[in-house]
Amino acid sequence: MSEALGTDKLEREAKSTYRDVAESADAEFHFETGRDLAVRLGHDADELDYVPDAAIDSFAGVGYDFDLAELEPGEDVLDLGSGSRMDAFVAGLHVTETGAVTGIDMTTEQVEKTNDLAADNGFHNLTFREGYIEVLPFEDASFDAVISNGVINLSAEKLTVFEEANRVLKPGGRSALSDIISEQRLPESIKSDAGLWAACIGGAEQIDSYTTFIEAAGFSVTEVRETERYELISERAANACDKYGVKSVSLGATK
C-alpha cells in the first residue's frame, strides 16, 4: 500500500462504501450489485429464490467459486468479509442445518443487517461477527472451508489474511475465493487513491504475487481461473482495467 494512503484512511473509505451498499444497494458504485450480477457470474437462479432479497440486492461479489469450495452438509464454513453478502446464505443452504456458516466483517451496519436477515428468514446456521480478516477471533483448526468474494484485495496485509485463513482451517481444509487482481503493477496514482481501494482496484495485487502470498501462507493452489463475465463499470475503473489488466479471478487452494 502507498505510504500516502494510511491504513486508517483505507478502512474509513472501505467502511463508507460498503455501508452504502448495505443501506442503499441501488446507489451508483464503481461496481455492479444485485441479482442479475449474481446469476451472470454463475449462481443458480432457482437456488437464489431461497435467499433473502435484501441480501441479494446487496450482493457485490466479483466471481463465483462454490464449485471450487465443494461445501458439504455438516461442514463449518468461514466467510471472510461477509458483509450482508448473499454468499453466506448460499453457503448456509449447501451445508444445511447440520453445518454452520460464520461471517466476519468490519462494517457494523453490514453485520447488524445480516444477523437480522438470518434470524428473520430462518437461517439458524448463520452467525455474523464484527472483526477484521487480518486478526480472526477464532481458534486454530475451527473450519472445514474458508470462502471470500471481492474482499481480500481491500486489505493492505494480504499475506497476514492468508496466514490467518490457513490457521483457522482444519488439516486438509480448503479455501475458495474470488478477488480482483492485476496483470501489471499499478501506478502510485491508483494505489494512493482511497476511493479506488474501496472499489477493489487500488489494492489489486499482481496475480503472481497473489498466488505467492497464498503459497507462503501454507496453501497449495489447485486452480486459478479468470472470471470473464465480471466488469467494473465506472469510467475510472474501466480505464484501469483496460490499461493495467485489472480483472476478477476465482481461486481454489487446500491446506
pLDDT surpassing 50 at residue 209 = yes
pLDDT surpassing 90 at residue 46 = yes
CB contact set of 16 (below 8 Å; sequence gap of 6+) = 198
Spell out the domains of the chain, with CATH numbers in brackets.
7-254 (3.40.50.150)
Mean pLDDT of 110-116: 86
Mean pLDDT of 162-176: 98
Give 43's pLDDT tier (boundaries 50, 70, 90): very high
Higher pLDDT, 181 or 241: 181
Higher pLDDT, 61 or 98: 98
Give 95's pLDDT tier (boundaries 50, 70, 90): very high
Q: What is the pTM of this model?
A: 0.87
- pLDDT, the chain, mean: 85
pLDDT surpassing 50 at residue 185 = yes
* CB distance 178 to 227 below 8 Å: yes
Higher pLDDT, 154 or 160: 160
Note the pLDDT of residue 5. 43
Note the pLDDT of residue 14. 53
Q: Considering only 1-15, 45-59, 72-86, which range has the smallest mean pLDDT?
A: 1-15
Note the pLDDT of residue 4. 41
pLDDT surpassing 70 at residue 20 = no
